[in-house]
Amino acid sequence: MCMWPGLIAKSKEGGADVIQTYVFWNGHEPIRGQYNFEGRYDLVKFVKLVAEQGLYLHLRIGPYVCAEWNFGGLPVWLRDIPGIEFRTDNAPFKDEMQRFVKKVVDMMKQEMLFSWQGGPIILVQIENEYGNIEGQYGQGGKAYVKWAAEMAIGLSAGVPWVMCKQTDAPENIIDACNGFYCDGFKPNNYRKPVLWTEDWNGWYASWGGRLPHRPVRDNAFAVARFFQRGGCFQNYYMFFGGTNFGRTSGGPNQITSYEYDAPIDEYGLLSQPKWGHLKDLHAAIKLCEPALTVVDSGPQYVKLGSMQEAHIYANEQVDPNRSVSGNVSICSAFLANIDEHKSVSVRIFGKNFDLPPWSVSILPDCQNVAFNTAKVGTQLSIKTVESGSPSYSTASAPGFLLLDGKDLHISKTWSILKEPIGAWGNNSFTTQGILEHLNVTKDVSDYLWYITRVNISDEDVAFWDEKGASPFITINKTRDVVRIFVNGHLSGSKVGHWVSVEQPVQLVEGYNELAILTETVGLQNYGAFLEKDGAGIRGQIKLTGLKDGELDLSNFLWTYQVGLMGEYSKLYDPKEQENVGWTDLQVDNISSGFTWYKTLFDAPEGNDPVALDLGSMGKGQAWVNGHGIGRYWSLIAPQSGCSESCDYRGAYNENKCTTNCGLPTQSWYHIPREWLQDFDNLLVLFEETGGDPLKISLKTHSTKTICAEVAENHYPPLSAWSHPDVINGIISINKVAPEVHLRCDEGHVISSITFASYGTPNGSCQKFSRGNCHAPSSLSVVTKACQGRNNCRIGVSNDIFGDPCRGTLKTLAVEAECLSPDFATEKLRDAL
């Protein structure tokens, strides 16, 4: 929550006019009729913070939201309402949905937060991507859409309502587009504005999967094309994704991080060049705003080639073969090259314009290029996480993380407590047959124990000895994780989504205790009939391989135990520590499964974001000072499928530009600074499979290295277009020199310039080298302008550096290091 003002400010600085947020029903009403609008769920405070920054807000109430959030944001208690069917023409569901939506709308009205009341809310959303599944509900789906629209309008919010991906949205609801590209989208009525509610500038990641990344050149191309072809409202999904703390991540199997390759990373730091390049794009589009808003009937279209086209916005008809005449006072143009392979020179307005492949050039005055989506002049940032072992590096691509090997193991002193296998409390119960997981747990825990006893005869044991065989426990279907224990010992595990299980087990003569643990790793968050998806076990459980065949255990008496003893006892709560029988960790018990671990640690100095490296652990959950930082799981991504480089050209999909092959999908887990105290922070882990807590590291996360490379023929800085001398015609915009902009994280300064060359430098960030042409003043000029400052700008021209090689196109390449001021001073002192 303390991060909110900074995140909103960085969004605004990046060019945002509107903040969009979901409303998570299961977060705000965890128990039916009991509401939670406090802390991280303080919706009113968030909306007011947006207003304080002078931004608008789009409130997506849903109340189904998807969002890779647990159960798509729907409360699990809905499943217990008799006769309920989710998201269709079903009275019990509609009653609950209307009650919650009305609660939120009334709260916003009471706080005077709608735009007509002077507040920031200009749009509200009902439902979410229902069109994708509507057909599965038949006529009930169609009736539900109509009802949802009428219900929403009847709440008198006083602002427009939106339905995304809903082609049959009623007349008084705006249907909107979600996708990687929406430039071809048209609403179902020409009177409705063209809205893009989710521009997927990245994608989510799943445990054991690769990490998706969307090139910023392609993202900028998609946005420019949208506005070029008549779009009027576009929202990034996500501009900041953050972290799914606790058990809020959706499923199955979405990771705890919701970074989403966003312009602002999970820790609140700028991801460059994505944030900066999109900021420039936004500035260029806003320069066109007078022209975009002066046109009522659509832009003027001009075919420039087989795969090239222009859209002109002007207050008068424009002759594209001539320079813009004086009677056209307002004119902006978008020139697109949708060829994925070739650069093309096109002629329009009496001038030639070079268009790189898969790019859009924006001309705010129909004469000069302010921005091209494929030409990135923004800095690239290499972020570091200072850490000990294990040391993983993904710093081969822009904005990724690099570990520097500094030993910051969190603690050498740990306490442990073993988690019982099977039933542990008075709240267990016994009944005949197999019960559905969620019907029993109500999702208060990921874990449910199924326990029974099986009597094995001496004849069966002799049969197995004679055949050299083992019996098997078979389960028809299970999800997400199942673990099978016999007499307190783990026989095996299975991971998957409704997969069958055939597990060999070792049984002894007489009674054997069979304990099956089913685990959820985020409830299903997308699709039709969510109330029927369930969890745990489907079908029969059998013991096979007996002398006389098989034994169906499905109708046995089973004892059910919800959750873990450690959860029930709140071992993670600082207030409960005196009631826990912790013992010291012994070296021979380090890698033990089904173990609770505890230690104390001090917060790192400074204000940099903090991360916990759990790469040495297996699977479990973690808490800091009682706050759940999320599930962890060190599943390894496939060795193949990642590319050395990513070509931005051509249509993007979530499998196109992935990284992290052969490494854990997630090793670092965000701990918000507001959850930490200076000393004696309590870290508690529940570890299922075994790991080494002595290798857990505490890390600080920051931008360490920044690089930029700008040629002298790059377009001028966007800020120059608003300079009085340019506006008044004293200076032509094309006479303004381009600039290199460098910027460290807030609270950090540029401690040193490690490379600078104006001329023909070679290589790329962290691999720059001088070319045959080099201005000797390069390093001194850049150092004087930048060292000791948080940010700086350097003009890229012969006027600044002199001309080291006449007649040659020159480029300024710079690499710099960022440090906190104290470390920077110490480093400078050491150098002297």
Would you kindly state where each structural domain of the chain is located, as residue ranges? 1-179, 291-378, 386-391+409-418+568-701, 429-560, 702-831
Can you tell me the distance from the alpha carbon of 462 to that of 546, in angstroms, rounded to the nearest whole number? Answer: 10
* HEC per residue, 543-603: EEEECCEEEECCCCEEEEEECCHHHHCCCCCHHHHHHCCCEECCHHHCCCCCEEEEEEECC
User: What confidence score (pLDDT) does residue 296 get?
Assistant: 86
Active site residue 129: yes
Active site residue 266: no
User: What confidence score (pLDDT) does residue 391 get?
Assistant: 31
Fold annotation for 429-560: Jelly Rolls (2.60.120)
User: Which sign does the torsion angle of CA 257, 259, 264, 270 carry?
Assistant: positive
Residues 390/522/164/286 CA torsion (nearest 10 deg)? -20
DSSP line for 650-680: S---TTSSEE-TTSBS--EEEE-GGG--SS-
CATH H-level, domain 386-391+409-418+568-701: superfamily: Galactose-binding domain-like (2.60.120.260)
Among residues 129, 266, 567, 688, which one is catalytic?
A: 129
Token pair belonging to 528? 């039709």
User: What confidence score (pLDDT) does residue 388 get?
Assistant: 28
CA distances to 8, 66, 219 from 652, in Å: 28, 22, 9
Tokens 């400074």 -> residue: 606
Can you tell me the distance from the alpha carbon of 779 to that of 814, in angstroms, rounded to the nearest whole number? Answer: 9
Tokens 């109708």 -> residue: 555
| Residue positions counted in the chain | 832
Please say whether the beta carbons of 614 and 669 come within 8 A: yes
Q: Is 44 strand, coil or helix? A: helix
Can you tell me the distance from the alpha carbon of 800 to that of 153, in angstroms, rounded to the nearest whole number? Answer: 60
Among residues 96, 134, 198, 688, which one is catalytic?
A: 198
Residue 447 burial (10 A CB sphere; 0-12, 13-18, 19+): buried
Q: Is 407 strand, coil or helix? A: coil
User: What confidence score (pLDDT) does residue 62 get?
Assistant: 95
Token pair belonging to 137? 């509900």
Can you tell me the distance from the alpha carbon of 223 to that of 687, in angstroms, rounded to the nearest whole number? Answer: 44
Produce one character per residue of 460-476: b if its CB has 16 or more CB atoms within 10 Å, e if not. beebbeeeeeebbbbbb
Helix (H) or strand (E) holding 25: helix 25-28
Fold annotation for 1-179: TIM Barrel (3.20.20)
Tokens 């430039």 -> residue: 183
pLDDT in tens, 536-582: 999 999 999 999 999 999 999 999 999 999 999 999 999 999 889 99
Q: Which amino acid is at 93?
A: F
Same fold, 386-391+409-418+568-701 and 702-831: yes
Q: What are the residues whose beta carbons fall under 8 Å from the beta carbon of 431, sequence distance 6 or more? A: 557, 558, 560
In CATH terms, 702-831 corresponds, of 2.60.120.740, 3.60.70.12, 3.90.1300.10, 1.10.540.10, to 2.60.120.740
Residues (pLDDT < 50) of the chain are 387-407
User: What confidence score (pLDDT) does residue 831 get?
Assistant: 54
Can you tell me the distance from the alpha carbon of 715 to that of 569, in angstroms, rounded to the nearest whole number? Answer: 62
Show the CA angle centred on residue 261, arms to residues 255 and 263, nearest 5°: 135
Please say whether the beta carbons of 669 and 629 come within 8 A: yes
CA distances to 261, 453, 766 from 503, in Å: 39, 17, 51
Token pair belonging to 766? 């962290």
User: What confidence score (pLDDT) does residue 820 get?
Assistant: 86
Can you tell me the distance from the alpha carbon of 578 to that of 565, in angstroms, rounded to the nearest whole number? Answer: 16
Tell me, rounded to whole angstroms, the distance of Cα 60 from its chain centroid. Answer: 17
Token pair belonging to 587? 């070296």
Please say whether the beta carbons of 377 and 718 come within 8 A: no
